[in-house]
């Protein structure tokens, strides 16, 4: 990749991973990159205001009762208009259409709060507690047509304690997520650069 890699981040809510990634980019921990846009499918996503505070362009693309493919087409167009090279899902709560995946094949990343392939889908921390695992963690992976099943880029392990609740475990995992996402993005961009 020549020049600055333009990153687009998709969120639906709080956006703490988006902020951690944007701050890492700004601090130079993800070389040769810039966060060009943050897109939310939810108009009231808390992360939108936090991105704006940082001077990042934000955009809301609501579903408005449309089918997934049609909604995704609007997002794809917005990403293409801004020449986005890499799409990072950060708490984006919608499954992508095959059209979206095809449009950015190998250039969409997601962060998930478990050591995949364990506990894909919703409530990963709850699933970990139910299984009484002693270790869980977080994973950054490429997005393909499978649910949380694409090739794994990076992982961090996190211990589970006997008295953990979903809240306490989620908070411990989230701390690691915030460091892992930017490391994984740097890794991916660096590999593309060498190709
Ligand atoms: C994170 O736990 C992430 O792994 C999962 O959704 C949560 C989003 O949190 N996909 P935030 O919006 O980044 O704060």
Domains and CATH numbers, the chain: 5-194 (3.40.50.170)
The helix (run of H) or strand (run of E) holding residue 125 is helix 124-130
Sheet holding 5-11, edge to edge: 58-60, 33-40, 5-11, 86-89, 108-112, 135-142, 152-159
Q: Region 43-60: what's the mean pLDDT?
A: 98
* pLDDT score recorded for residue 195: 53
Q: For 13, what's the count of Cα atoms within 13 Å in the CB-facing half-sphere?
A: 5
142 Cα: distance to centroid of ligand 1 (angstroms): 16
First vs last Cα of the chain: how many Å apart? 8
* pLDDT score recorded for residue 1: 54
Instruction: Give the model's confidence band at 2: pLDDT under 50 very low, under 70 low, under 90 confident, else very high.
Output: low
Average pLDDT of the chain, as a whole number: 97
Residues in contact with ligand 1 (CB, 6 Å cut-off): 11, 13-18, 90-91, 111-113, 174, 177
Q: Which residues are catalytic?
A: 112
pLDDT digits (tens, 9 = 90+) for 124-139: 999 999 999 999 999 9
Q: For 126, what's the count of Cα atoms within 13 Å in the CB-facing half-sphere?
A: 3
- Of all protein residues, the one whose alpha carbon is nearest to atom 12 of ligand 1 is 15
């Amino acid at each position: 990749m020549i020049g600055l890699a333009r990153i687009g981040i998709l969120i639906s809510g709080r956006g703490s991973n988006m902020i951690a990634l944007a701050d890492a980019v700004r601090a130079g921990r993800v070389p040769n990159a810039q966060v060009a846009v943050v897109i939310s499918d939810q108009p009231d996503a808390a992360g939108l205001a936090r991105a704006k505070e940082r001077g990042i362009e934000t955009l809301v693309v609501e579903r408005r009762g449309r089918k997934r493919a049609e909604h995704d087409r609007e997002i794809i167009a917005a990403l293409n208009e801004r020449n986005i090279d890499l799409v990072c899902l950060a708490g984006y709560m919608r499954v992508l259409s095959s059209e979206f995946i095809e449009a950015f094949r190998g250039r969409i990343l997601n962060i998930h709060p478990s050591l995949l392939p364990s506990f894909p889908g919703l409530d990963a921390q709850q699933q970990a507690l139910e299984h009484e695992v002693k270790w869980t963690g977080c994973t950054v992976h490429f997005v393909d047509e499978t649910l949380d099943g694409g090739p794994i880029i990076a992982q961090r392990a996190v211990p589970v304690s006997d008295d953990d609740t979903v809240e306490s475990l989620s908070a411990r995992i989230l701390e690691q997520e915030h460091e892992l996402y930017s490391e994984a993005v740097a890794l991916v961009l660096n590999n593309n650069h060498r190709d």
